[in-house]
Amino acid sequence: MTDRDYMMRAIELAKGGLGWTSPNPLVGAVIVKDGRIIGEGYHERCGKLHAERNAIASLTESAEGATLYVTLEPCCHYGKTPPCTEAILEQKIARVVIGSRDPNPLVAGKGAAILRAAGVRVEEDFMREECDALNPVFFHYITKKTPYVVMKYAMTADGKIAARTGDSKWITGESARKKVQELRHQYMGIMAGIGTVLADDPMLNVRIPGLKSPVRIICDSGLRIPMDSQIVKTAKEYRTIVAYAGEHSGEGCKEAEEKEEQLHTAGVETVSVPDADGRVDLRKLMEYLGKQGIDSVLLEGGGTLNDAALSAGIVNEICAFIAPKIFGGAGAKTPVSGIGVAHPAEAVMLTLRQMETIGDDLMLRYSVD
Ligand code: AOF
Ligand code: ZN
């Protein structure tokens, strides 16, 4: 076994926390002595022990002189848990191999420096790219304080998200739809537009037992959401935020106030974030959601909301499912509407990060440049 193998193991362990650690990172750790793994662990849930301390807790023998492989720089601060650097020094671990750097201002290089100053051999940036790929959400949220936004859609091979009648059940197969349920568990919020609510009356929850449902965020400029929609009816069960573009005076004002009150009674939270044109200001909304502790949003919008989100520059990643079928139809809906760019050179540019077949469908993940 090489350093790479041990770090690969730490990365696999880290994934055990997927969906449960927010707003904290996914972290895995392996302790190795004389070519044997003598301890391993990962960060299981926000507020619980860090990966390093879980690995130490699992030790089968003394870690004196051992090597610790950890996917993220060990912390050196008192947060919800005490500093991992202290635990590492207590165990007399001789060498620490680190994957990602921790951009948390409370750590940011200080963790590695403390270990070095105490005589530990520290290697940084080892398989950094692979380790960084675990935590796009954490890296974004801790520095920007707004949620990391993943725009997800399913389309046919000819780029349609519905047939010409608007019927979209179903585009992709069962396995891809299950994958979407897992994505909903993984991200803290899910966002859709009022158009989707009116057309499909969705729940936007997770129906796999043991997984958690996201906070539902509905963009609804005119506060049109029906009181008898599934979203409103289940708002006491699943946290729900309706973002609208409230007027501060004039005709619609009183009406909006009444609707807002009804929604509050039903358990729905509301936030008014108007832009100059009387629509929801998505940047302001992201700032608000960030302050609410929401570190990530899965955007399951229709073409209008997707277009607005791309124009507002809030989209960090695209997750496209492509089904092996063709709908055709000049009027059939596509993932991004709006007026579109005039020339290819004006395109929103993407970088392909992952490509996977799921059942008969294809899942493509891109970061937005
Ligand atoms: C984790 N898990 O395995 C590591 C983390 O509030 P606390 O005490 O849980 O500290 C959270 C910070 O600790 C987090 O922002 C990151 O900078 C650092 N490392 N966090 O949740 C871990 N190693
Ligand atoms: Zn720690």
Span 336-361, mean pLDDT? Answer: 97
Q: Is 117 exposed, middle or buried (0-12, 13-18, 19+ CB in 10 A)?
A: exposed
25 lines ligand 1 (CB under 6 A): yes
The ligand with the least distance to the CA atom of 139 is 1
Q: Is 247 a catalytic residue?
A: no
Predicted confidence (pLDDT) per residue in 132-144, tens digit: 999 999 999 999 9
Q: How far apart are CA 52 and CA 70, in angstroms?
A: 7
How many degrees, rounded to 5, is the angle at CA 186 between CA 183 and CA 190? 70
Distance 83 CA to ligand 1 centre (A): 9
104 lines ligand 1 (CB under 6 A): yes
Span 187-207, mean pLDDT? Answer: 95
pLDDT at 250 over 80: no
Q: What is the pLDDT of residue 248?
A: 57
Distance 25 CA to ligand 1 centre (A): 7
50 lines ligand 1 (CB under 6 A): yes
Q: How far apart are CA 300 and CA 315, in angstroms?
A: 12
pLDDT at 270 over 90: yes
What token pair was written down for 165?
């009648």
Of the residues 40, 50, 132, which should be mutated to test ligand 1's pocket, given the most ligand atoms within 8 Å of the CB? Answer: 50
Contact 63, 91 (CB under 8 A): yes
Task: Please give the biggest Cα pair distance in the chain.
Answer: 77
Q: What is the pLDDT of residue 220?
A: 96
Length of the chain measured in residues? 369
Q: What is the pLDDT of residue 231?
A: 98
43 lines ligand 1 (CB under 6 A): yes
26 lines ligand 1 (CB under 6 A): no
79 lines ligand 1 (CB under 6 A): yes
107 lines ligand 1 (CB under 6 A): yes
Q: Which region holds residue 333: left if phi is over 0, alpha if psi is between -120 and 50, else beta?
A: beta
**Tokens 């080892």, located at residue:** 126
Comparison of pLDDT for 271 and 256, the residue scoring more = 271
Q: Which atom of ligand 1 is nearest to the CA of 50?
A: 3
Comparison of pLDDT for 255 and 300, the residue scoring more = 300
Q: Write the residue with the smallest CA distance to atom 10 of ligand 1.
A: 79
Q: How confident is the model at residue 80 (pLDDT cuts 50, 70, 90)?
A: confident
Q: How confident is the model at residue 255 (pLDDT cuts 50, 70, 90)?
A: confident
The ligand with the least distance to the CA atom of 55 is 1
Q: What is the pLDDT of residue 249?
A: 57
What token pair was written down for 71?
């996917």
Instruction: Say which residues have a Cβ less than 8 Å from residue 299's Cβ, sequence separation at least 6.
Output: 149, 150, 151, 152, 190, 191, 192, 305, 306, 309, 315
Q: How far apart are CA 241 and CA 219, in angstroms?
A: 9
Which candidate in 52, 73, 300, 317 is catalytic?
A: 52
Q: Which atom of ligand 1 is nearest to the CA of 21?
A: 21
For strand 67-72 and strand 36-42, is the pairing parallel, antiparallel, or unpaired?
A: unpaired
Q: How far apart are CA 69 and CA 6, in angstroms?
A: 7
Q: What is the pLDDT of residue 257?
A: 86
Q: What is the pLDDT of residue 254?
A: 76
Q: Which amino acid belongs to residue 289?
A: L
Q: Write the residue with the smallest CA distance to atom 2 of ligand 1.
A: 50
Predicted confidence (pLDDT) per residue in 63-77, tens digit: 999 999 999 999 999
Q: Which region holds residue 109: left if phi is over 0, alpha if psi is between -120 and 50, else beta?
A: left
The ligand with the least distance to the CA atom of 27 is 1
Predicted confidence (pLDDT) per residue in 96-134, tens digit: 999 999 999 898 999 999 999 999 999 999 999 999 999
Q: How far apart are CA 5 and CA 12, in angstroms?
A: 11
Contact 192, 165 (CB under 8 A): no
Q: pTM value? A: 0.93
**Tokens 């963790």, located at residue:** 111
Span 147-152, mean pLDDT? Answer: 98
110 lines ligand 1 (CB under 6 A): no
Q: Which atom of ligand 1 is nearest to the CA of 27?
A: 3
Q: What is the pLDDT of residue 246?
A: 84
pLDDT at 95 over 90: yes
Distance 58 CA to ligand 2 centre (A): 16
Q: How confident is the model at residue 253 (pLDDT cuts 50, 70, 90)?
A: confident
134 lines ligand 1 (CB under 6 A): no
**Omega within 30 of 0 (cis) for the link into 170:** yes
Q: What is the pLDDT of residue 32?
A: 98
Distance 76 CA to ligand 1 centre (A): 9
Is residue 272 helix, strand or coil?
Answer: strand
Of the residues 31, 53, 75, which should be mutated to test ligand 1's pocket, given the most ligand atoms within 8 Å of the CB? Answer: 75
Contact 243, 280 (CB under 8 A): yes
Q: What is the pLDDT of residue 256?
A: 80
For strand 215-219 and strand 189-193, is the pairing parallel, antiparallel, or unpaired?
A: parallel
Range list of β-strands (E), 66-167: 67-72, 95-100, 121-123, 148-156
Predicted confidence (pLDDT) per residue in 296-345, tens digit: 999 999 999 999 999 999 999 999 999 999 999 999 999 999 999 999 99
